Amino acid sequence: MGTTGTQPRLKNLELAAVGGSDVHVKMLAAPVNPSDINMIQGNYGLLPKLPAVGGNEGVGQVVAVGSSVTRVKPGDWVIPANAGLGTWQTEAVFSEEALISVPSDIPLQSAATLGVNPCTAYRMLMDFEQLRPGDSVIQNASNSGVGQAVIQIAAALGLRTINVVRDRPDIQKLTDRLKNLGAHHVVTEEELRKHEMKNFFKDVPQPQLALNCVGGKSSTELLRHLAPGGTMVTYGGMAKQPVIASVSLLIFKDLKLRGFWLSQWKKDHSPDQFKELILTLCDLIHQGQLTAPACSEVPLQDYQRALEASMQPFVSSKQILTM
Amino acid sequence: MGTTGTQPRLKNLELAAVGGSDVHVKMLAAPVNPSDINMIQGNYGLLPKLPAVGGNEGVGQVVAVGSSVTRVKPGDWVIPANAGLGTWQTEAVFSEEALISVPSDIPLQSAATLGVNPCTAYRMLMDFEQLRPGDSVIQNASNSGVGQAVIQIAAALGLRTINVVRDRPDIQKLTDRLKNLGAHHVVTEEELRKHEMKNFFKDVPQPQLALNCVGGKSSTELLRHLAPGGTMVTYGGMAKQPVIASVSLLIFKDLKLRGFWLSQWKKDHSPDQFKELILTLCDLIHQGQLTAPACSEVPLQDYQRALEASMQPFVSSKQILTM
């Protein structure tokens, strides 16, 4: 599927010849992530030259390889090494360096959603604060793809998560589902603002790390509950409002505000380090500690339905295009 | 001068006996800092038990020492080791650990204003970003006590300062005065918001470090001009508004927001490290690279006038109580 301007449409493209360092890939499945939508709308830190093929994540199977390709072979599963590959297409020819192979014995939905959200979740849990088993982490947008990965990876690391979600009619169902994933606590944005939260933190250690995908008031509340010296990492801005931080918390509680962008992390690290990260996450998948978020599979030709569904408020399942 | 509640008043206090580890000090001069006012108003991270003597900074001369005192002797000049000492008094008995000696060959006004603002300026320039000669630093409230110290210390380190000030009738006079101190660039808050600043940064390297004493819009503007990966350190909130940070700058420019509080720095470091900092600053004073901010000396009995003057908008000189 090609995107021109803000109106994506399906288009037949000529398949390029497979050069010496190229890999012919048949795409299997590719999710619709919030950052894909941001990119189409032009609100992203990395924008492709138009026209471009949408989709930054997904899994494909190698059909054929050029003569100098050494790291993948026909039959292998591959995912994009970087954002901007254009995964919403049935097949394509990519250069070898644009791909990373993944084990093909993990679930298809896990492979299709492995390269962005779980990587973001893992790095944010590891790279900002030195957390030890029993420490707690607070996050908002806990039902997002990253949020669900944070819950599961944190649980695997022995960390206690405090998961903030927006109130909704079926809140108990959502709470149960997140607790099933390993969430220790699920609180609504409204509950987080109440005085009663003081009692909550009598029993639960104040979090040293907050993960913010919302901004605005929600991020101000996360900061209010951070332990002295703690860090809030912002990786999204769903509320389309800036982060608002109390001056006195910055000065007297020594709070730190940072941002995380996986594309920047990849620029700052080697492909081998990214591959290592992917394999660490595959280990968690093999051990049953990391599952794909709830997904709705939609055939590529129904992309319009998938895009619309992904932009609805309170979406509880990720749209995955299948080819 | 004792303070009870928010109404400071002069009061005669009985002088305590000089115990073995005590030092009898005659105060010479003590400034009125914004943080003193915040403390009286109850808006500070450290609040003394009331009634309390106001004033966190100043210089005194040792009159007599207890039998076990080794680090100071009669005639020495001393400054408080920590906030909360209560310097707005004619004389007092302090414990030896509450004091740090300073050379008595520096100007009285420099000694009286050495322990807070220049220390804050120096640590903020050294501890957050690794700056090299030629790098630039942006700050707001550049005419404050810390701001003037930042200008001078940065110049001594070979750093280029971009100094943001509020527009005012005598702006040229202020600009000249700050440039005389070593300021490379002086811009008003209004100028900083204009598109023309893009051209400014064609000739001047984007700052890796921003020092924020204001909050609100002013801090948002500092962030906008920071170099990718740069840090904004907040040490005050004169606008009484929170820091507002764009989500996309946090994520895509990897900006870092931190806070600095000298009292916390002292808790995290040994008295010897603080003493070393003081001596480093005294070296700069001896070399003529660091002078006291413009001061108005006011006798202690006229404290009410000094407090009022210190709370006026656009104060260009620091009130110093003399005993």
Residue with tokens 């979090």: A207
Residue with tokens 């908002």: A140
Rounded to a whole number, what is the largest CA-CA distance in chain B? 66
Q: What is the pLDDT of residue A6?
A: 59
Judge if the upstream peptide bond of residue B207 is cis by omega within 30 degrees of 0.
no
Residue A237 has pLDDT above 50, yes or no: yes
Task: Write a three-state SS string for B252-301.
Answer: HCCCEEEECCHHHHHHHCCHHHHHHHHHHHHHHHHCCCCCCCCEEEEEHH
Looking at the domain A22-113+271-309+316-322, which fold is it? Quinone Oxidoreductase; Chain A, domain 1 (3.90.180)
- DSSP letter, residue A302: G
Q: Which two tokens stand for residue B73?
A: 């002797």
Residue A136 burial by Cβ neighbours in a 10 Å radius (0-12, 13-18, 19+): buried
- Under the banding of pLDDT at 50, 70 and 90, the label for residue B6 is low
- Over residues B76-96, the mean pLDDT reads 96
- Under the banding of pLDDT at 50, 70 and 90, the label for residue A95 is very high
Q: Which two tokens stand for residue B19?
A: 């115990």
Strands B318-322 and B295-299: parallel
Q: What is the pLDDT of residue B294?
A: 86
> A-B interface: how many C-beta pairs under 8 angstroms?
98
Residues 6+ apart with CB under 8 A from A126: none
Q: Which of B318, B304, B289 is nearest to B112 (CA)?
A: B318
CB of B238 less than 8 A from some CB of A: no
- Over residues B261-273, the mean pLDDT reads 95
- Over residues A56-73, the mean pLDDT reads 97
Q: Which two tokens stand for residue A82?
A: 């970087």
Residue with tokens 């339905």: A305
Residue with tokens 């093999």: A286
- Over residues B286-294, the mean pLDDT reads 95
Structural domain spans, chain B: 22-113+271-309+316-322, 117-260
Catalytic residue flag (residue B44): yes
Q: Which two tokens stand for residue A149?
A: 């990965």
What CATH number belongs to A117-260? 3.40.50.720
The one-letter amino acid code at A93 reads V
**Do residues B55 and B37 lie in contact, with contact meaning Cβ atoms separated by under 8 Å?**
no
Query: What is the predicted ipTM?
Result: 0.90
Residue A236 with chain B: CB contacts under 8 Å: 247, 251
Residues 6+ apart with CB under 8 A from A175: A165, A183, A186
Calpha distance B12→B132 (Å, rounded): 51
CA distance A229 to chain B (A): 10
Coil, strand or helix at B15: coil
The share of chain A scoring above pLDDT 70, in percent, equals: 98
- Over residues B54-63, the mean pLDDT reads 96
The one-letter amino acid code at B169 reads P
**Do residues B30 and B54 lie in contact, with contact meaning Cβ atoms separated by under 8 Å?**
no
CB of A250 less than 8 A from some CB of B: yes
Residue A249 with chain B: CB contacts under 8 Å: 259
Q: How far, in whole angstroms, is CA B216 from its chain's centroid?
A: 20
Beta bridge partners of A94: A23
CA distances to A151, A294, B152 from A182, in Å: 6, 15, 54
What's the number of CA atoms in the CB half-sphere (13 Å) around residue B72?
31
Calpha distance B177→B165 (Å, rounded): 12
CA distance A24 to chain B (A): 32
Coil, strand or helix at A274: helix
**Do residues A22 and A66 lie in contact, with contact meaning Cβ atoms separated by under 8 Å?**
yes
**Do residues B294 and B315 lie in contact, with contact meaning Cβ atoms separated by under 8 Å?**
no
Calpha distance A106→A284 (Å, rounded): 10
Coil, strand or helix at A54: coil
Return left, alpha or beta for A141; rule: phi > 0 is left, psi -120 to 50 is alpha, else beta.
Answer: left
Nearest to B243 among A236, A250, A264 (CB): A250
Interhelix angle A145-156/A171-181, rounded to 10 degrees, is 40
Calpha distance A34→A17 (Å, rounded): 32
Average pLDDT, rounded, for chain B: 94
Judge if the upstream peptide bond of residue A103 is cis by omega within 30 degrees of 0.
no
The answer to whether B255 contacts A253, with C-beta atoms less than 8 Å apart, is no
- Over residues B34-48, the mean pLDDT reads 87
Coil, strand or helix at A139: strand
- Over residues B225-253, the mean pLDDT reads 96
- Over residues A233-248, the mean pLDDT reads 96
The one-letter amino acid code at A236 reads G
The answer to whether A259 contacts B255, with C-beta atoms less than 8 Å apart, is yes
- Over residues B291-314, the mean pLDDT reads 91
What's the pLDDT tens digit per position in A174-227? 999 999 999 999 999 999 999 889 899 988 999 999 999 999 999 999 999 999
Calpha distance B44→B36 (Å, rounded): 9
CA distances to B46, B232, B234, B260 from A248, in Å: 11, 15, 9, 10
**How many other CB atoms are found less than 10 A from the CB of residue A125?**
23
Residue with tokens 């494909």: A60
CB of B217 less than 8 A from some CB of A: no
DSSP per residue over B172-222, as a string? HHHHHHHHHHT-SEEEEHHHHHSTTHHHHHHHSPPPSEEEESS-HHHHHHH
Q: Which two tokens stand for residue B71?
A: 């680090």
Nearest to A215 among B236, B247, B264 (CB): B247
CB of A252 less than 8 A from some CB of B: yes
Q: Which of B143, B141, B173, B164 is nearest to B316 (CA)?
A: B143
How big is the CA angle at A87 (ends A84 and A89), to the nearest 5 degrees? 135
What's the pLDDT tens digit per position in B148-185? 999 999 999 999 999 999 999 999 999 999 999 999 99
What's the pLDDT tens digit per position in A288-322? 999 999 899 999 999 999 999 998 877 668 999 99
Residue A5 has pLDDT above 80, yes or no: no
